[in-house]
Every structure is written in structure tokens, then in C-alpha cells.
Amino acid sequence: MALLTLGLNHTTAPVELREQVAFDASRLPDALAQLTQQFPGVREGAILSTCNRTELFLAIDGDDEPDIVRWLAGFHAVDAEALAPHIYAFKDLKAAQHMMRVASGLDSLVLGEPQILGQFKDAIRTARDALTCGTELEQAFSKVLSIAKRVRTETAIGRNPVSVAYASVNLASRIFSDLSSCKVVLVGAGETIQLVAEHLNGQGVRGIDVVNRTLANAETLAASIDGFAWPLTELGERIQHADIVIASTGAPVHVLGKGMVERAQKARRQKPMFMVDLAVPRDIEPEVGEIDSVYLYTVDDLQAVVEEGLEQRQEAARHAEQLIKDALDDWQREIRGYRAVDTIKQLRDSTQELSEHELARAIKALESGKPADEVLQQLSRNLTNKFLHAPTVALRSAAEQGDLSLIEATHRLFTIDDIEDLD
């Protein structure tokens, strides 16, 4: 049985195509059933589907690869010829290597992003529930998750910010020892602020205030993080309770002026306020940074943090790639060991059969009254001759044909010390 990974991702296909072949969670069980029932050679299967990739992990019989691309196209009503150029496929250890890189965040749009590992686990869980995850995939997934965990714990792949959203939260955590106890106001409800909200949630921050010009958008974001939505007219009031203010609205003029922040700080009795302006043009008046109790950072200030974080992640990625290489080397040794198991068993069985046959003859000889020493000597000769008959014939034939590799292998196999010059 062989391991096969097949799919497309953000590097091989545009978002328009990725959208068309993404699997809704509700359709995954049906898709997995089709895969394992429609193709006799597909014994096991799992599907990972995210916004950036759709990948199929399969255990297949033999070397004949089923036409999974055509099936994938048909399942999603997409033209197979248009889909095929964007598909990649890996087999056996190359497939395992790809899976390890995916689960470790090395193949992600954002290097080292942690969400993919949870998504990978969800894919495994779904396959198990659908009863399409068997011995082969379970073994592969066990090794993949093990190496992904090592990458997370033994490298700094996910510890350094590589986006301004993450950098904002990372910087805030350096100023406040316990972010979960901070009151946060987010100004805006676009993609950047959504990412900020997710990172803050991950740090245990709850009850976040989302202030936005369009209240409906604020309500949508607030609902996703168990926060509170406010119209922009409430901004001055909300920041009077804020330890952290992060803004990204895309407005053409400043939405936070120095006077508004001074009034808020007066009400807060000059408690430190951390402010980040991620917008271009800026949302916060530059003069706000002149207030003694306010720590104001712009997107340019954070860019250095991001570049430093990216460099550190790239170094961590090199370490992670070595961990994966070592794991694959170990796995390859295991596979080679498995291949020897059948041979070893056959060798033991045939040897045991010969031994039992000769032992039965020896017992009969003893029962007929022959002296024990003669019987034992004959037993020893018979065992030696029968054990070595086939190897002896093979070695003579190899020597006559000039094939010295079998002779050398025999020396290694039986640890013969007096190796002669075979040349």
C-alpha cells in the first residue's frame, strides 16, 4: 500500500479556483465515502480543506494512481482540464514530508501560522468519524502530528510576529504583563482589525469594544469574539475605559484627535494607554504621541518588528526542515525494517521445519537403539548440510559468474572475520 497526497494551495491556484474546490464540512463525509467506494484502489482517505488549500491524503493499493483529479473536478462541477495544471501530487515519503510541512506551518501563506495544525487535526477526526482512516493513514498521521508538535515546541516558528496585526498584540503583551485583564477598544471592523481581534482572543482578552462607522459590521465582528459593538459617535466615551486602543478604519481623516485622548486620559487619571495606528492614512493624530501617559505606535514602527519576526521565523523554519528530514530518515529505516519482516519470518519457518524433520529422524534412531553420540553427530551434520545447501549453491553460482556482491553480503550477514581478498 502506498501513501498519496494530492491537492492545490495558495502557491499553485488563484483564490477563484480554490473557492470552487473547497469542501464544506457538511459534505466531507459524503466525499470521503465516494473516494473509498468509487475507487477500489483507494483503501483510506482524509481531506483537508481551508481557505488556502484543498488536499487529499490517501492510502492506495499498488502503483496505479486513481484519477482523483477528475473525481475532484466532478464533485465540485469544475472543468478537469482547467483544474489539472494547478494540482500537485506526492507519493510515499515525499507525501509524508509534504504533510509534515503543512501541519508544521512551513507551507502556509503566513510562515509558521498555528491554525493549520488544528485544521489538520479536524481533517483526521472527520476521516475517523467517516471510517475512512485506517492503519496506513493512522500511522502516517501519528508521525506527522508528532513532528508538528516538535516543531512547535523545539523551534521558534510561531513565537515571532510576522504581521502588523500580530505585532500589535505582541507589543501590547510586552507593556502589559497580563493582557487578559486589559480593556481593549478596536476602531474599525475590516480584515486587519479582525486579525487583531483573533490574536487578542487567543491571549485571553474578553469583552472587547468594537467601534466602527457602520454599526452592522461592528456587530458582526463583536459577535464573533463575544465583544460589544458601538457606533463611531461613542468612541470618545469608550476610550475612557481603554488600556489598549488599536485602530484601522481606512477613513480619509483622523478619527482620534489629541483633545479626545487627553479628555480620556484625564478621566482615567493618566493611567498608561497603549495605542496602535495601523491605518494609512493614519487614524490617530500624530500629536497624541506627545501625551506623557500614552504610548503611540504607527504601522511603520511595527514594520521593524515584523521584519525581525520574519527573519527569526525563517531561521526557525530551517531548524524545522531539519527535524522533518531526520524524522523521514527514521521512518525510512522503519519501512526498510518492515520489508525484512516477511523474509525473516520465512527464513525462520523454513529453518524450523528442517530442524523438526531432522529431530524426528534422530528420535527414531535413538528409539531403534543406535548409540546417542552417533545419533547426535549425524543430527549435527544433517542440520549443517541442509541449512547451508541452498546458500552454498547460490554462492558457487555467484562466484562462477563473477558476482562478488553476494559473497561480500554473506561475510556481513554471518560476520565472517577472515574475509579474503575478493579482488
pLDDT digits (tens, 9 = 90+) for 114-144: 788 999 999 999 999 999 999 999 999 999 9
Grid coordinates belonging to 314: 525563517
pTM over 0.75: no
| pLDDT given for residue 1 in this prediction | 67
Which of the following is catalytic: 15, 51, 335, 340? 51
CB atoms under 10 Å from CB of 204, counted, come to 11
Our CA dihedral for 324, 325, 331, 335, rounded to 10 degrees, sits at: 140
Task: Tell me the helix, strand and coil percentages in the chain, rounded to 5.
Answer: 60, 15, 30
Q: Does residue 418 carry a pLDDT above 60?
A: no
In the chain, the percentage of residues whose pLDDT exceeds 70 is 96
Q: What are phi and psi of 240, to 5 degrees?
A: -65, -15
Domain positions in the chain: 2-154, 164-298, 341-413
Q: 3-state class of 287 per DSSP?
A: helix
Q: Does residue 161 carry a pLDDT above 70?
A: no
| pLDDT given for residue 422 in this prediction | 47
pLDDT band at 56 (very low <50, low <70, confident <90, very high): very high
Q: What is the mean pLDDT of residues 28-34?
A: 96
Q: Does residue 109 carry a pLDDT above 80?
A: no
Q: What is the mean pLDDT of residues 241-268?
A: 94
Average pLDDT, the chain: 90
CATH superfamily entry for domain 2-154: Glutamyl-tRNA reductase, N-terminal domain (3.30.460.30)
Q: Does residue 233 carry a pLDDT above 60?
A: yes
CA–CA distance, 372 with 363 (Å, rounded to integer): 10
Please, what is the end-to-end C-alpha distance for the chain in angstroms?
41
CB atoms under 10 Å from CB of 102, counted, come to 25
Q: Does residue 6 carry a pLDDT above 70?
A: yes
| pLDDT given for residue 334 in this prediction | 82
Name which of 247, 244, 243, 297 is nearest 271 in CA terms.
243
pLDDT in tens, 61-96: 876 778 999 999 999 999 999 999 999 999 999 999
Q: Does residue 348 carry a pLDDT above 60?
A: yes
Chain-centroid distance of CA 165 in Å reads 23
Q: Is 182 a catalytic residue?
A: no
What fold is seen in the domain 164-298?
Answer: Rossmann fold (3.40.50)
Q: 3-state class of 350 per DSSP?
A: helix
Across the beta sheet with 244-247, what order do the strands follow?
228-231, 209-212, 184-187, 244-247, 273-277, 294-298
Q: Does residue 106 carry a pLDDT above 70?
A: yes
| pLDDT given for residue 154 in this prediction | 94
